[in-house]
Structure 1
Amino acid sequence: MAEARRMPSETAPAGLRERKKEETRRLLREGAARLFAERGFEGTTVADIAACANVSVRTFFRYFDSKEALLLPDGIKVFAHVEDALAGRPADEEPLDAVCNALLAAAEPFAASTLTALGHPLEDIENVVTGRLVQAFSAFEERLTVLVRRRLPADTPDADLRAAVIAGAALSTVRAVLRTRRARRASGMTETGPAPLPRAFEILREIGSAGRP
């Protein structure tokens, strides 16, 4: 009984610490958003962001590894979004189509929601966002390969290799879109026609079907 009475008081400090951490994380993100909008991404330093949240630079680095990390959810959240989207695809859907559709559902909203939250479609921030997405997608290629393998029939020849090729091709397509969009904006090109990510997956499927009877 005495042990049971101690448990609430023992867990309360941990809960309070977590709430304080979340509050600090929120203040850092909100402060960064204001400063990026006022000064631009390049004109804002980590020290500026920390001061805006009334914390030290050392504290900042306990929460984020760089100011770029403030622009997107961490890689775990990005992958969780992709994983959920893939799990929601029909079981009989072709694996490549399932992965492409899952990535399509997951990729674009991150950049769009970040810029919307900042309130300004700043070009320097958008370039960093796309670069950060490239890094995020690259980081979980092996994990995506495992998920693709689970969708393949048990008797699939070279199932491990097939899963790796499908995951790698789909993620490379996303990276190609992000790099191309960044290059187009840098050269002053105006995007017209279909949205680039769906069009890129169409191209990937066309390549995959080339040579079929």
Structure 2
Amino acid sequence: MSMSGEPAGLRERKKLKTRATIRREAFRLIKEQGYQNTTVEQISAAAEISPRTFSRYFPTKEAVLLSDDHIAPIVSAFVEAPAELSVIDAYRHAVETTFGALTDDQREEAITGQRLMYEVPEARGLLYTEYVRLIDQITEALTKRPDQPTGELERRVLAGAIVGVLIAASHNTPLPGDPISRCLRVLDQKLK
């Protein structure tokens, strides 16, 4: 399925399969050899692709650790969350819905990627970049939610508060779950 819920075409399915294979092989090699001892060339060979193809899917070795496949569905679910939910509850609903729909394999891959993101020092800068990108996406998504601030600054502050909670709750904690939901509830209560 595509992000819009439409069945993905053959080309898109092939891309998703290749991306998943690259990540799976990278995680396997990193587990066996350690992050520092695993090269893009080794990952590419294990995934039966060229290093050039690897770079089309992941610009750096660190990027293979990032579970950014969940960002677009979360933002989409946030926009589509019931109108009566507060901004924070709508985001909590989106996270719970998206991660609740993962298969066991997808969940395991996301947990592995999250764990490695915090263990590998080279990946920490990538985390910051992704958090800033998420702030931008939530800020834009707020324009599509009913009764939300019309001012860019207010939307960005709300988005930053949500991402701040994500950072605080998920640091060294693979995959969002109860800690993030609880922390988002605290933020929601304090904003009322």
Bigger Rg, structure 1 or 2: 1
Indicate if the aligned counterparts of 1:28 and 1:50 stay in contact, CA closer than 8 A: yes
Equivalent residue for 2:4?
A: none
Change (3 A) 1:174 1:104: farther
Q: Give 5+ residue unaligned stretches, structure 1.
A: 1-14, 186-193
Equivalent residue for 1:48?
A: 42
Q: Distance in 1 between matches of 2:183 and 2:37?
A: 34
Equivalent residue for 1:5?
A: none
Q: How many residue pairs are counted as aligned between the two chains?
A: 178
Indicate if the aligned counterparts of 1:28 and 1:53 stay in contact, CA closer than 8 A: yes
Pick one of 60, 75, 89 that aligns with 1:83: 75
Change (3 A) 1:135 1:45: same
Following TM superposition, by how much is the alpha carbon of 1:139 offset from its aligned partner in structure 2, in angstroms?
A: 0.7
Following TM superposition, by how much is the alpha carbon of 1:30 offset from its aligned partner in structure 2, in angstroms?
A: 3.5
Following TM superposition, by how much is the alpha carbon of 1:67 offset from its aligned partner in structure 2, in angstroms?
A: 2.2
Identity %: 30
Equivalent residue for 2:116?
A: 125
Alpha-carbon RMSD: 4.0
Deviations 1:83-137, CA, capped at 9 Å, x for gaps: 2321342112222321233245447988x8667249x969962525995565433
Change (3 A) 1:63 1:96: closer
Q: Write out aligned runs for 1:131-142 (5 A).
A: 131=124, 135-142=129-136
Equivalent residue for 2:60?
A: 66
TM-score normalised over the length of structure 2: 0.67
Q: Distance in 1 between matches of 2:71 and 2:21?
A: 24
Indicate if the aligned counterparts of 1:142 and 1:164 stay in contact, CA closer than 8 A: yes
1:29 aligns to 2:20 (yes or no): no
Q: Distance in 2 between matches of 1:16 and 1:102?
A: 28
Q: Distance in 2 between matches of 1:123 and 1:16?
A: 29
Q: Distance in 2 between matches of 1:98 and 1:104?
A: 10
Following TM superposition, by how much is the alpha carbon of 1:174 offset from its aligned partner in structure 2, in angstroms?
A: 0.6
Indicate if the aligned counterparts of 1:104 and 1:197 stay in contact, CA closer than 8 A: no
Indicate if the aligned counterparts of 1:68 and 1:128 stay in contact, CA closer than 8 A: no
1:92 aligns to 2:84 (yes or no): yes
Indicate if the aligned counterparts of 1:144 and 1:167 stay in contact, CA closer than 8 A: yes
Q: Distance in 1 between matches of 2:34 and 2:87?
A: 41
Indicate if the aligned counterparts of 2:65 and 2:117 stay in contact, CA closer than 8 A: no
The AA in structure 2 aligned to 1:125 is: L
Q: Give 5+ residue unaligned stretches, structure 2.
A: 1-8
